[in-house]
Amino acid sequence: MANRHFLTIIPFLFLTLLPHLMNANETAPQLPKPAEKVADVVVEGVVYCQSCETYGTWHLSGAKPIEAATISVICKDHRNRVSYYKAFDTDKNGYFYAQLKGFKMSHSFLDHPLHSCKVKLVSSPLKTCNLLTNVNYGLYGAPLRYEDKRIVGKNYEAVIYAAGPLAFRPDHCAPKEEP
């Protein structure tokens, strides 16, 4: 019986408090909105041409950087669907700086770049060194590493991750002589 009376009183209590709630919103001072801080995700690394001496290994001694090689950054969401894809080219030193503009995380932990993004080799401009290798998983997707690198500005911040180094190999190497 008491529950029934209580349930009939609740709407009346709400109606009596409603004017006070509305006035509280009107008298509260409007605080200025802080400037939005833009946070970018960046991936960096180097692409090499592996020497014939180290062919078949993950060693990069004697390797030379490849200018204008293409890599791709592929990110998948927590349901394993591609949520971001973009290709980037290397500079004259074989270095790539992949700024992931438009990358968004729908789930703060599962879609984090360390978990969801990988870097893959796409193509090499060198006709003599254009076969994919799996050095540092460049063939199947090199995982990102966090190396505590950031760029911080007034309204800008970039977190820089590393991948690789990655490598192509020559299409023809002389057979190795066995001792």
> Virtual CA dihedral for 40, 86, 104, 164, nearest 10 degrees?
-60
pTM over the 0.75 mark? no
The span from the CA of 69 to the CA of 165, in Å, is 13
The span from the CA of 37 to the CA of 33, in Å, is 12
Q: What mean pLDDT is predicted for residues 76-90?
A: 91
Asked if the model's pLDDT at residue 162 lies above 60, the reply is: yes
Q: What mean pLDDT is predicted for residues 85-110?
A: 86
Domains and CATH numbers, the chain: 38-169 (2.60.40)
Q: What mean pLDDT is predicted for residues 119-135?
A: 93
The single-letter code of the amino acid at 8 is T
pLDDT at 15 (0 to 100): 61
Asked if the model's pLDDT at residue 87 lies above 60, the reply is: yes
**Which of 122, 127, 136, 75 lies closest to 103, judged by CA?**
75
State the average pLDDT for the chain: 82
Residue 96 near residue 138, CB atoms below 8 Å: no
